[in-house]
Amino acid sequence: MQQQPPQVDRLARTLSGSGLPHALCVDVARQAIAAGDPDSAPARAAELSSSLLGPVINATGVLLHTNLGRAPRRPGGEAGGPARYSSVEIDVRTGRRGDRGRHAASLLARLAGAEAGLVVNNGAAALLLALAATASSKPVVVSRGELVEIGGGFRIPEVLASSGAELVEVGTTNRTHLRDYQAALKSHPGAAAILKVHPSNYRLSGFTASVPVADLAHLGTPVVADIGSGLLDAGTPWLETGPPPWLAGEPAARQTLRDGASLVSFSGDKLLGGPQAGIVLGGSDAVSRCARHPLARALRPGALVLAELQRTAMAYLARDLDELPFWRMASISVDELRARARALGAGEVTSCESVPGGGSAPGATIPSAGIALEGDHSDALRRCDPPIFARVVDGRTVLDLRTVDPRDDPVVAKALVGI
């Protein structure tokens, strides 16, 4: 009698000692079962672990070894710890040169349901590279209502111009219809892409209209979507409570790709909750064109950013909010915040409103709680060690505890006593 293959989850749990998040153990178990060789699962897990970015010992005699991250560093800046190199651009299994972007990018692609991914140094660079690789010297159709100015005075039209693409504006500031895109594509038959930009640092309301990615994808021209703030999945499966109300209307990478976008670009240090970086996700061919473009070399991040981004992606896979401080802070209940405020033993416990910030979810607020002190004590708080920044509202200094790590509550309490 032929033996039945083991259940995927049961086999995955036997791999818990590999150090991989359960989600990756499930992937390994599925691959082993599909290959008809469940016994190969431990070896497959070990191979996957070794493919991730990590510290290595360099005994080659090459002090600035390019494939090992060049100059060595102490992990986490630990004084007295060994100076280590990094497997940033080498395949540990073969010893041959590897792809520096494969570690974090492949994990983020998995999380968003994309075929492939690429990491660059910031969100503007991600959009620049996506357009340069897709539409250099060719028309790109974009709504006038999405020609936004992002942080630091940089404007989408300028990013488009730097990529070499020809800007074709359609619609009006407040209303753009599908027929506007259709007319532009008819008059510009050589158009290489439609650009969809989420205006993440402002919100239009009233008499407005825009065209969703799903409708644009049916026009037959590749859609490049810049979702800005980096929400991976609108369902937020890493949160037990599900999507919070303040995320309503915020585009997410998984759903944007599912709706038909060829490429999606976003920032790593906003709703993703990781380091400053730019991420490009999409189909294998489209991402490969980005990776082969000469700009990819100029825009690539260093080993420290890639390591931190990999850590962030692994935390998502493990659903570990302790390793995702942004989402841990965003999901704390108001009752818990009020309890912490009372425990500080100084000032008045007060209700307040937090905001996502960073150009994410404009206009959204999150109910919060903290401490209020009469008068402006902002200077005294900044002179503390470490400095404490607070808001001054209507002549009162308000310390919103949503953005304070609970482990820093004793530091805040000491500062309040000093004041």
DSSP 6: P
CA angle 116, 325, 389 (to 5 degrees): 130
Place of tokens 């290595």: 56
pLDDT of residue 1: 43
Region of 210 on the Ramachandran plot (φ > 0 left; ψ -120 to 50 alpha; else beta): beta
Q: Which pair of tokens denotes residue 61?
A: 């005699």
Domains defined along the chain, listed by start: 8-86 (no CATH), 102-323 (3.40.640.10), 332-418 (3.90.1150.180)
Which residues does 255 contact at the CB level (< 8 Å), separation at least 6?
233, 234
- Return the amino acid letter for 222: P
Q: How far lies 297's CA from each of 199, 209, 269, 358, in Å? A: 28, 38, 21, 27
Give the distance between the most distant pair of CA atoms in the chain: 81
Task: Identify which of 219, 214, 172 has the alpha carbon closest to the alpha carbon of residue 193.
Answer: 219
DSSP 233: -
For residues 287 and 285, give the distance between their C-alpha atoms in angstroms, rounded to a whole number.
Answer: 6
Q: Which pair of tokens denotes residue 248?
A: 């309503």
Helices of type H across 319-355: 325-331, 334-344
Per-residue pLDDT of the chain (419 residues; tens, 9 = 90+): 445 567 898 999 999 889 899 999 999 999 999 999 999 999 999 889 888 888 888 877 788 788 888 888 876 655 667 888 888 888 888 888 877 667 899 999 999 999 999 999 999 999 999 999 999 999 999 999 988 876 666 688 888 888 999 999 999 989 999 999 999 999 999 999 999 998 876 677 788 899 999 999 999 999 999 998 889 999 999 998 889 999 988 999 999 999 999 999 999 999 999 999 999 999 999 999 999 999 999 999 988 899 999 999 999 999 999 999 999 999 999 999 999 999 998 889 999 999 888 777 777 889 999 999 999 999 999 999 899 999 999 999 999 999 999 999 999 999 998 88
